[in-house]
Each structure stands twice: as structure tokens, then as C-alpha cells.
Amino acid sequence: MKIGLFIPCYINAVYPEVGVASYKLLKSLGLDVDYPLDQTCCGQPMANAGFEHESLGLAVRMEELFSKYDYVVGPSASCVAFVKENHPGILEKAGHVCMNSKKIYDICEFLHDVVKVKELKAEFPHKVSIHNSCHGVRELHLSSPSERNIPYYSKLRDLLSLVRGIEIFEPKRIDECCGFGGMFAVEEPEVSVCMGQDKVKDHMSTGAEYITGADSSCLMHMEGVIKRDNLPVKTIHIVEILASGL
Amino acid sequence: MSSKNDILSAIRSHTGKRYNMPDLTLDAIVYEDKIAQFSDALQAAGGKAVLLQPGEDVNDIIRQHFPDAARIASNLPDITCATFNPDDLADPRELNNTDLAIVEGHFGVAENGAVWITRQVKHKALYFISNSLVMLIDREAIVNNMHEAYKRTEGMTYDFGAFISGPSKTADIEQALVFGAHGPVGVLVILK
Amino acid sequence: MSTKHSKAAARFIANRKQEAWHDETLWMVRAKRDKMSHSIPEWERLRELASDIKLYSNSHLDTLLEEFEKNALANGAIVHWAKNAAEHNAIVQEILRQHDAHTLIKSKSMLTEECGMNEFLQEQGYDIIESDLGERILQWMHLHPSHIVMPAIHIKRQEVGEMMERVLGTEKGNSDPTYLTHAVRKNMREKFLTADVAMTGANFAVASTGEIVVCTNEGNADMGTSFPKVHIATFGMEKIVPSREALGVFTRLLARSGTGQPVTSYTSHYCKPKEGGEFHIIIVDNGRSDILARPDHIRMLNCIRCGECMNTCPVYRRTGGYSYTYFIPGPVGINLGMLKDPVKYSDNVSACSLCLSCSNVCPVKIDLGEQIYRWRQDLDRIGKASTEKKIMSGGMKFLMERPKLFNTALRFAPLVNKMPRFMIYNGLNAWGKGRELPTFAKQSFNDMWKNNKIK
């Protein structure tokens, strides 16, 4: 199976190390993974702001970039969810059929459900608090949404449990939004900041040294709050933990 | 009549896909000990259930629970502790300042501690105006859940019916729970 | 790019202590709801059934409403139909006039709020008395509800105490909720006994029996209807349920979702007029039949007004009901406002981070968050898109569609890291409010890959 690595725009620009860890992790599991060059963005920022039609060109471009792969795998639950849930409708309006939506996976989902990893070489002797991101939970079903009466599960916890030395926690409001929300963060800045501060506080109350999750966008938002308020906690993308030591 | 016709024709012209009525069968919750569950649910709602023991008199139980009640209303022949028959009053307003009302319910609902009553007294006000309310039901007459409850109301005719679960309550000031917002401050259900 | 909501939200949050209390208190209600829903193994099946029943009933309103009317008439009720708020209010006024009534005692109804009925009747000289404690407090304070189930949730006990000192002559400085509630109980008892006409809303109207069902915890609807000869019940037509069997699904969901109780204290079924009295039922459209023509938004008619989408909404909890411009706030209000008048109420569409908690909590499975996303796509067409947002979005599109330009931009981006602080964090930078900007990497992933740095 050929895997095309999907690296969203802000990971490309701000957190390339998350992309590197993703590549190394997949490689280390003996998978055939490649990076189709010159990726930019899936179009979610424009669509969430109310300009879905502006995402069309990007959706078409993504279809072309990934046409030769069996799987599209990316380290960003929100972007993956956007491709999976929204690209089909956007493309349909222009007469295209979306192929990516059926083969795209968040990297955690992919490792958990497709590769079914049972062991990792990783070691991370730290306390981490899982950030259950909205789109990861409620669109990609990476964990059981707290609103639903279904048995608890967490694909992120399952994967982190394979890491030696790690202690795993979750905040009290287990999947409350961190307040990023794309353009929401700048259109409703006071609310967004308030949500971010509350969320970081909730993570810190677990005693964790790190906040980790499958969405760099949420982590980026919380990192902004942490740096501004000089808080004694760090953010780290989950693949960086899973790929530690590689 | 023209508003009705306008509304109905707007509905008809705007209704698109007509969905089918779903099959309502479902595996709803049932309890091993319905009486215990009913009592717990009623207690959580701020009320209390007591099981009448063999040889006990309902009137004694009522007096024990409401020793200070002076004005006690009931139209039930067995309730000898009643001080007046509310059906003798011409105007429901005369029921004001009733300390205690004793009425009969049809059945209880285990999942939420509610008792189904239909108006069996002259003035519906009786169920709400007294300071405390006692409802008598048969201990065998407890259903598991609201699905069973509504099934049981089939064929009953009434002008007014209600599921009453515990006393009147409110949390409108800072979400602080207060009993006796307008209606009874206390509710006792006696399981005969 | 600020909206009326974002500005009002900023004012609410400025009082961080009150905001934190509001957030935590409503979160507690959400937690109570979670506990309740988890105690029912068939919860998710109930939600599905509720949603499916509503899809059925709302796509058969014509037949169900006629069936309801037929049965209500057989029960001896008088049925009125109101196309809009004006007709609704006129019907109520006419009933009051016929009975030479002056005082109307009413239980809580978001529909009368929607119709502006109280103001209308008060202008005509009628005395309208709200009997729900929260609504009564608001009426005394000349305010409107900030939540559809907990209308006075934004008001502190001290404010209530001070108001009641003036209105009811309660003890100075006493703001104990039990004391204040019982002071109102005493005052209201007199009002219940002397009102001329009683009015209630309806949580449900049962087509197969012609009865209406009113759910309260206070018993105020029941007290209100116990003394006057005339009872007026009004409901929006989507409140129809086919049968009592179907009703069982909703009475199990409503209070569990709304307040975290297994059922409200009173679930009252009003079937027939009292002896020598009149029972008027008003069926109200007021825009609801228009929603039927909107397949993308038709599920809004599923709503049973439990209010749980507000309690779960991280934005509502932190901004309060008054930060929204429609009289119903929160996720449900954002959507209903847009259906009512998209140009007038578009400012609420920003009040959503698209976390989708509302869609998952909703007992009748309305896709509330997804619908807000769809409304955002309409803003540009109706001329309500923010110019700044449009420019930002257009700029991103331009950049992202040009990989070479994107890569070049990323090569220069680290320069931003070195910009003087005052240039980055100023009034123009909304991100800079409370957050540091992310630091651009020295080399982007694209460049690292090209330079063969990733192995």
C-alpha cells in the first residue's frame, strides 16, 4: 500500500518537526510512504469563515496530488476531517467526485485502525494530558464524545499506552473546545482567549507536564496562551511522542 | 377560518419529503425492584415514599408525617384524619391555606418517581395549593418507565391528568434548589 | 471584523468572575445531564427515535394539526389558528375582551416572548403576570430571559434580593434563595387566586388525543389554571406529536437533557375545559411553515426547547444570553434567528467555534453546528460577510493556490519572528489579545523535503 503524507499548511510553516516525526514513524513501521511535493492547504480556514467556494481549487489540487496513493495520512485531525466531510460537497458542486474522502486518515486513526500497531519503540518518561480536539472526537471519532452514552474509548490513549515511561491524564472537561476554531480565534478574540485559558488550566490541573493531541492547530492556540501567560506546561503533538527515539 | 386555510396550504406547499413514522419498539430500562427504584427516584426529586406495613393504618402514617397539619383535605372515605371534604367547597379559592391534601393516584413510574393522577376531586387546585400532598397508590401499580406509563393511560378519560414527581421546586435564583416554589413543599407517596 | 456578538461577549468576559460563575454553573447542568443520560442504557436509541418522530410529524403537519384540532374540538376546546405574531396577540386580546378580563396570569412561554405578546397587551392596559419565578424576577427588573429554561441565570442573588426589598419589602440584605423564593410564593398566591384568565404555552400537543402537555417544576402553570374559568394555551405548530406513545419518548428526554432531572415535577395534560369554563388553544405558524421549505434547516423544527445546547456551548457559557441579538441565544438561537431574518440576525453566526458539542448533546439530533457552518456560507451572498474576513480568506486562497509563492512566503516568514514586539502585538492583531503568535520554523516542511533533510 502506498501512503501519501498530507502535511497541512501551518504544520508546513510552523511545526515541520511534526511532519518529520510523522514520516519517520510511518517509515519505522515498514510502510511505503511518500510526500507529494508542494502541498499548501486543504481550504478549511476559508470554508469555516464562510467562503467554502474559495476552497474548491485547493480541493481539486489535493485530489490531483494524492491520486496515485492508496491512503492519504496526515497529522491533523481537523484538516483530515475537513477533507473527509467537506471536500465531497465542495467538489460535487463543481462536478468532481472526491476520492480522497474515502482514503484519508488522521495518522492516529490510521495507526490504530489500519496498521493496528501493537508496539512502539518510543519512550517518553513524562506526564501528559490528552487534548481531545473537537473535530478529532466529533468528526473522526478518535475518542468517545462526552455527550454520547457510549462506552469510553480513546484511540489516542491506546497509542500513548504503547509508549514506555509515560503517564497519561485527561482534563476534567474531557473534550471541551480550546477556543481555536480557525477564524473564530480572531473574530471572537476575547471568547477564544477565555476558552484557551480555561482549557490550559484544566490540562494543568491534571499535573501534566505536556499537553498532547492529534491537532497542531489546537496545540498552537494553547501554546499561544501558555507563552503569553508564562505557564509551566508545554505542548507536543502526539506523533512526536510516538516517534520519540527514532 | 382563513388563517387556518392559509397555514395548511403553506404547510402543504412547503412540505418536501414526507418521512415515515418510525417503529417505536425499543428495549427500555426495567428494574428488578421497582418499589426501591421508585422510592429512590422520588427521594431524589425531593419527595418520600413509604410502604404501608401489614396492620398499619394510612391515617396513622399521615399523622406521623404531618403532626402539625390542621386543615386536612380529602374526599377519600378511608381518610378519617381529613378535617374537611374539599368537594364541599363551591370555589377553589377556598382551598387556600390547606395544610395537607390526600389524594389517590393511578400508578407510579419507577424511573422518575412520578405518580399519574387524573382529576378525581371537584377542584383541580387541590393537587397544587396545599402545603403538602399525600398520594396513595397500590404498591403493585408501579411501571418501569414512561413508555409503560403512557400505555397504561390508554383508555383513561380525564379533563386534567398529570405526572407529579415530588414537590414543587425551582432553582431560578443562582441554580440553588428550593422546594415549594408555588405548589406543595412536601410530597409523600404511600404505597398500599 | 468584530460582530455585535463579539463586542457584547467582550463586555461580558470583562467581568471575569461573573463569566467564570456563569460558565461553571451551566457546566454543572451539563454534567447533571450527562449523569442522567448515562443512567439510561437506551439513551442513543431514544435520541434517534425522537429525531425520527419529529421528522415524521414535521413532514405531516397538515394532517396532524387537523387531527389535533378535530380531537381538541371533540374535547370541548376552542381552537384558533394564528399565521403570525400579530394574529396571535389579537386572538388573546379578543378572548380577554370577551371575558371582560383585566389580569392575565401566565406560565413561561418562549412563544409569547417570540410574539412580543406581553408588551402588546400591556400597551393595551392589561396586567400580565409571569408566574415562573425566574420570569417574575425578570418582569420586575424589566428584563428579558437570557436562557430559555433558566431565564434569570445571569442575575446574582444579591441583585434579586435588592430588587425584592423594593418590590416586596423583603428584609434588607437578605438574599437567601429559599427566603426570596418563599417571599415570591406568598406574593404570587394572591395573584393566582385573583387573576381573570390563565395562559400557558405547551411543550407538546398530542394529535391523537387533542390534549396539550405542559412541563414545569414549579407547578405554576397548574396553579395558574386552577382558578380562572378561562385557560388559553398557545403553541408553535412543531410542538405536535402524533400520539401519547410517541410522547413517552420526549418526556423521557426533555428534563434529562434540560436540567438533568429524570422528569419535571409536573407533566400536566390539559384535555378539556373545566366545568362552566373555556379552554382556548392557539396553533401558531409565525414563520414555521417557511422552514419546511428549507431542507438544509428543516431539522430546526425538531427542537423541543430543552436548552441543553446552550449549557454545552462553550461560547454561550462564557458570553451569556444577552450577547446574542436574537431573543433565543446559543446554538438554537443562532439558527432560529437566521431562519427568522438572516440580514438582521447574522451577527450571531460568529458565536461558534464549530466544536459540534451541541449537535451531539441535542436530544432530537439537530445538526446545530453543521447548520451554523452552512449559514456562514450564505453571509457573503446576503451582503453580511465581514470585509476583513473576506480579504483574509481571499488572500489565503491566492497564496495557497500558488505553491511557489507559498514556499517563498514561508522562507520569509521567520522574519516575522524577529519583528519588534510592538509591531506584532497591537490593537490590530486580534490574535495578540491574550496569545503569543506562533513562531515560524526556520525551514518549512516543503523545503526540508526538497533539501533531502527528511529521512
Q: Do A44 and A150 fall into the same domain?
A: no
Quote the distance between the C-alpha of residue C364 and its chain's center: 14
CB contact under 8 A, C41 and A193: no
Chain A CB contacts of C38 below 8 Å: 149
Q: Is the distance from CB of A37 to CB of C404 less than 8 angstroms?
A: no
Q: Do A76 and A51 fall into the same domain?
A: yes
Q: Is the distance from CB of C6 to CB of C315 less than 8 angstroms?
A: no
Selection from C374, C373, C338, C369 nearest residue C356 by Cα = C369
| CATH code of the domain containing A233 | 3.40.50
Q: Do A132 and A106 fall into the same domain?
A: no
Q: Is the distance from CB of C112 to CB of B152 less than 8 angstroms?
A: no
ipTM of the complex as predicted: 0.98
Asked whether residue A171 is domain-assigned, the answer is: yes
The three three-digit cell numbers of residue A6, written as one number: 498530507
For residue C349, what pLDDT is reported?
Answer: 96
Count of structural domains within chain A: 2
Q: Do A132 and A105 fall into the same domain?
A: no
pLDDT digits (tens, 9 = 90+) for C23-46: 999 999 999 999 999 999 999 999
Asked whether residue A45 is domain-assigned, the answer is: yes
Selection from C243, C240, C235 nearest residue C208 by Cα = C243
- d(CA C124, CA B116) in angstroms, rounded, equals 40
The size of the B-C interface in CB pairs under 8 A is 240
Per-residue pLDDT for B1 more than 60?
no
For residue A38, what pLDDT is reported?
Answer: 86
Q: What is the mean pLDDT of chain C?
A: 95
Burial of C87 (0-12, 13-18, 19+ CB in 10 A): buried
Chains that touch C (3 or more CB pairs under 8 A): A, B
- The residues that bridge with B50 in the sheet, in sequence order, are B190
End-to-end CA distance of chain B: 51
Q: Is the Cα torsion angle C92, C95, C97, C100 positive or negative in sign?
A: negative
Q: How far does B78 lie from chain C, in Å, by closest CA?
A: 26
Asked whether residue A167 is domain-assigned, the answer is: yes
Q: Is the distance from CB of B184 to CB of B130 less than 8 angstroms?
A: yes
Amino acid sitting at position A226: I
Q: Is the distance from CB of A173 to CB of A202 less than 8 angstroms?
A: yes
Selection from B116, B112, B153 nearest residue B29 by Cα = B112
Enclosing domain of residue A28: 2-114
Please enumerate in sequence order all residues whose Cβ is within 8 A of that of B131, keeping only pairs 6 or more positions apart, or say none.
B69, B98, B99, B100, B180, B184, B185, B186
**Neighbour count for residue B144 (Cβ, 10 Å):** 17
A92: left (phi over 0), alpha (psi -120 to 50) or beta: alpha
- d(CA A141, CA A154) in angstroms, rounded, equals 9
CB contact under 8 A, C49 and B146: no
Chain B CB contacts of C145 below 8 Å: none
Q: Do A133 and A222 fall into the same domain?
A: yes
Q: How far does C153 lie from chain B, in Å, by closest CA?
A: 6
pLDDT digits (tens, 9 = 90+) for A143-182: 999 999 999 999 999 999 999 999 999 999 999 999 999 8
The H or E element spanning position C204 is strand C204-206
The three three-digit cell numbers of residue A26, written as one number: 510511518
Q: Do A94 and A152 fall into the same domain?
A: no
Counting as low any pLDDT under 50, the low residues of chain A are none
pLDDT digits (tens, 9 = 90+) for C208-257: 999 999 999 999 999 999 999 999 999 999 999 999 999 999 999 999 99
The H or E element spanning position B150 is helix B146-153
Burial of A118 (0-12, 13-18, 19+ CB in 10 A): exposed
For residue C29, what pLDDT is reported?
Answer: 97
Q: Do A183 and A233 fall into the same domain?
A: yes
Of C56, C61, C226, the CB nearest to B20: C56
CB contact under 8 A, B168 and C266: yes
Last residue of a domain, one of A84, A114, A144: A114
Q: How far does A168 lie from chain C, in Å, by closest CA?
A: 23
The three three-digit cell numbers of residue B54, written as one number: 401489614
CB contact under 8 A, C263 and B163: yes
Give the residue-averaged pLDDT of C316-332.
98
Q: Is the distance from CB of C274 to CB of C237 less than 8 angstroms?
A: no
- d(CA B98, CA C355) in angstroms, rounded, equals 52
The SS3 assignment for C441 reads coil
Last residue of a domain, one of A114, A141, A172: A114
For residue A157, what pLDDT is reported?
Answer: 98
Q: Is the distance from CB of A41 to CB of A58 less than 8 angstroms?
A: yes
For residue C160, what pLDDT is reported?
Answer: 97
Q: How far does C441 lie from chain A, in Å, by closest CA?
A: 5
For residue C417, what pLDDT is reported?
Answer: 78
Domain ranges (residues) in chain C: 4-14+304-378, 60-289, 387-450
**Residue C455, CB-side half-sphere exposure with 13 Å CA sphere:** 3
Mutation choice for B interface testing from C105, C217, C229 by most B CBs within 10 A? C217
CB contact under 8 A, C438 and A220: yes
DSSP B69-110: --SEE---TT-TT-SB-GGG-SSGGGGTT--EEEEE-SEEET
For residue C428, what pLDDT is reported?
Answer: 65
Q: Do A132 and A110 fall into the same domain?
A: no
Chains A and C physically touch (3 or more Cβ atom pairs below 8 Å): yes
Nearest-CA residue of chain C relative to B149?
Answer: C248
- d(CA B63, CA B61) in angstroms, rounded, equals 6
Which residues of C, range 181-220, sit inside 8 Å of B by Cβ?
181-182, 184-185, 188-189, 192-193, 217-220
Interface residue A176 vs chain C (CB under 8 A):
yes
Selection from C190, C191, C189, C195 nearest residue C99 by Cα = C195
Mutation choice for A interface testing from C397, C406, C410, C425 by most A CBs within 10 A? C397
Of B8, B164, B182, the CB nearest to C62: B8
Q: How far does C66 lie from chain A, in Å, by closest CA?
A: 36
CATH architecture of C60-289: 3-Layer(aba) Sandwich (3.40)
Chain C CB contacts of B93 below 8 Å: 193, 227
Q: How many residues does chain C have?
A: 455
CB contact under 8 A, C377 and A187: no
- d(CA A64, CA A33) in angstroms, rounded, equals 17
The SS3 assignment for A105 reads strand
Please enumerate in sequence order all residues whose Cβ is within 8 A of that of C7, keeping only pairs 6 or more positions apart, or say none.
none
The SS3 assignment for C296 reads coil
Tell the CATH superfamily of the B21-191 domain.
NagB/RpiA/CoA transferase-like (3.40.50.10420)
- d(CA B74, CA C250) in angstroms, rounded, equals 33
Q: Is the distance from CB of B172 to CB of B31 less than 8 angstroms?
A: no
Asked whether residue A25 is domain-assigned, the answer is: yes
Q: Do A47 and A132 fall into the same domain?
A: no
Q: Do A79 and A161 fall into the same domain?
A: no
Q: How many residues does chain B have?
A: 192
Chains B and C physically touch (3 or more Cβ atom pairs below 8 Å): yes
Per-residue pLDDT for C406 more than 90?
no
Chain B CB contacts of C193 below 8 Å: 93, 96
End-to-end CA distance of chain A: 22
Q: Do A110 and A132 fall into the same domain?
A: no
Domain ranges (residues) in chain B: 21-191
